Amino acid sequence: MADKITLSVIKADVGGLVGHTSVHPDMMEAARQRLGKVKTKGGLSDFHVTRCGDDMELIMTHGEGPDNEKIHKLAWDLFVECTEIAKSLKLYGAGQDLLKDAFSGTIKGMGPGVAEIEFQERKSDPVIVFMADKTSPGAWNLPLFQIFANPFNTAGLIIDPTMHEGFRFKVVDVFENRSIEFSCPEDLYDLLMFIGAPRRFMIHEIYRKDGEIAACASTQKLSLIAGKYVGKDDPVVIVRCQSGFPAVGEALEPFAFPHIVEGWMRGSHNGPLMPVSFEQANPSRFDGPPRVIAAGFQVADGQLVGPRDLFDDPAFDEARKKANEIANYLRAHGPFEPHRLGLEDLEYTTMPKLMDKLAARFQREA
């Protein structure tokens, strides 16, 4: 049997052009050059560099397995190099997501987001990498539930005998640094109780009942690493498709509903997640609204055949229109909740300082 292949998606915001809207082409080029050299030397099977808003994504295939030091260091060094370019051009938030000074074994916990899966290539292996900007990892909870647990979304849960058993969901509690597994459909309601609170409970991995990995999402929370607001942890998720997994169209379907996610303007507002083509992944209105792109690949002997720009489809026009309507509606709330995030979410921003400043002016009410 052929060796297993690892698909690693590692991402970071290391500087925006202009503000937080996009990535400079020189940074993209530097990333491609560096990964190209490593591929030539046999250190990578293949790679694709892309971006969603101001977040740069490295999509890499290799035989080293997940959590590999060499691969993580490659990504870290590349982000450091791109930070230097960003600094030289005085791009906004240069090095924003690089929260630690020195690399030590794994990129996890250092700021960048990571999603990795290892699998035996099938006869044909379609995967989708979803990438978002101006939101946070909990944004995937709703679509992942739809894709892997809701038969009204995913006909395969009923029709495909290999999916009929359902899937296992690994959910992390990012506040307590622990995780729990739910098996669906048995634990459906328990699962929903947790993932319906996406700022704390995030779906990290999904497995088929035979143990095969089906999806993996980045769940790094920057504010919990840094202890203060440092930009949003714009997330990625890998979803495997077809033949025992959801069809490509089943994986895309939930995004026809632009659900409300956190992370818009200063990471402090709720807004609709708008599915867009690669070219339209430039959140500018009020630094948003939040965006998601979908890059489809066929993995063939470790090569990434693609990408196909899967939201580049007029069938998603209505979702974009709806997202704009929701954006108008929410924006009209200005600084009021629920457009602005709840107080718990502002604990890393202005609120504690303001409280301190005004402490003496508070009067005890009878």
Question: Which residues are annotated as catalytic?
Answer: 13, 229, 232
N-term to C-term CA, the chain: 76
In the shown chain, the binding pattern of residues 268 to 307 toward ligand 13P, with x for contact by CB under 6 A and - for none, equals -------------------x--------------------
The residue from 138, 166, 231, 258 that contacts ligand 13P (CB under 6 A) is 231
What is the distance between the alpha carbons of residues 16 and 358, in angstroms, rounded to a whole number? 35
Whole-number minimum distance, CB 200 to ligand 13P, in Å? 19
Whole-number minimum distance, CB 249 to ligand 13P, in Å? 5
Comparing CB distances to ligand 13P, the nearer of 264 and 316 is 264
- Residue 77 tokens read as 């060094």
Contact 126, 296 (CB under 8 A): yes
| Nearest partner of 327 among 246, 277, 264, judged by Cα | 264
Strand order across the beta sheet in which 55-62 lies? 46-52, 55-62, 5-12, 113-119
* Identity of residue 67: D
What is the distance between the alpha carbons of residues 316 and 10, in angstroms, rounded to a whole number? 27
Q: Which of residues 169-188 bind ligand 13P (CB under 6 A)?
A: none
The residue from 5, 9, 13, 107 that contacts ligand 13P (CB under 6 A) is 13
- Residue 150 tokens read as 């809701």
Element (H, E) at 95: none
For 57, phi then psi, to 5°, come to: -115, 130
Q: Which residue is nearest to Mg ion (CB)?
A: 20
- Residue 224 tokens read as 């919990």
- Name the one range near Mg ion by CB under 5 A: 38-46, 91-99, 163-171, 355-363: 91-99
Whole-number minimum distance, CB 186 to ligand 13P, in Å? 25
CB-based burial of residue 188 (10 Å sphere; 0-12 exposed, 13-18 middle, 19+ buried)? middle
Comparing CB distances to ligand 13P, the nearer of 125 and 133 is 133
- Name the one range near ligand 13P by CB under 6 A: 29-37, 145-153, 226-234, 333-341: 226-234
For residue 20, state whether it binds ligand 13P (rule: CB under 6 A).
Answer: yes
Q: Which of residues 24-63 bind Mg ion (CB under 5 A)?
A: 53-55
The residue from 11, 24, 170, 232 that contacts ligand 13P (CB under 6 A) is 232
DSSP labels, 300-341: ETTEEEEEEETT-SGGGHHHHHHHHHHHHHHHTTTT-TTTBP
Residue 91, CA atoms < 13 Å, CB-side half-sphere: 26
Whole-number minimum distance, CB 347 to Mg ion, in Å? 20
Whole-number minimum distance, CB 285 to Mg ion, in Å? 15
Q: What sign does the dihedral 2-163-319-271 (CA atoms) show?
A: negative
Comparing CB distances to ligand 13P, the nearer of 8 and 242 is 242
What is the distance between the alpha carbons of residues 193 and 184, in angstroms, rounded to a whole number? 13
What is the distance between the alpha carbons of residues 112 and 106, in angstroms, rounded to a whole number? 11
Residue 222, CA atoms < 13 Å, CB-side half-sphere: 24
Q: Which of residues 199-258 bind Mg ion (CB under 5 A)?
A: 231, 234
For residue 265, state whether it binds ligand 13P (rule: CB under 6 A).
Answer: yes
Q: How many residues bind Mg ion (CB under 5 A)?
A: 10
Q: How many residues bind ligand 13P (CB under 6 A)?
A: 18
| Nearest partner of 30 among 106, 71, 70, 84, judged by Cα | 84
- Name the one range near ligand 13P by CB under 6 A: 195-203, 206-214, 231-239, 293-301: 231-239
For residue 266, state whether it binds Mg ion (rule: CB under 5 A).
Answer: no
- Residue 109 tokens read as 């916990």
Which value, to the nearest 10 degrees, does the dihedral of the CA atoms of residues 225, 228, 231, 235 take?
30
Whole-number minimum distance, CB 291 to Mg ion, in Å? 9
Comparing CB distances to ligand 13P, the nearer of 170 and 266 is 266
The residue from 54, 187, 253, 262 that contacts ligand 13P (CB under 6 A) is 54
- Name the one range near ligand 13P by CB under 6 A: 169-177, 229-237, 309-317, 343-351: 229-237
The footprint of ligand 13P (CB under 6 A) covers 13, 20, 53-54, 93, 96, 133-134, 231-232, 234, 242, 247, 249, 265-267, 287
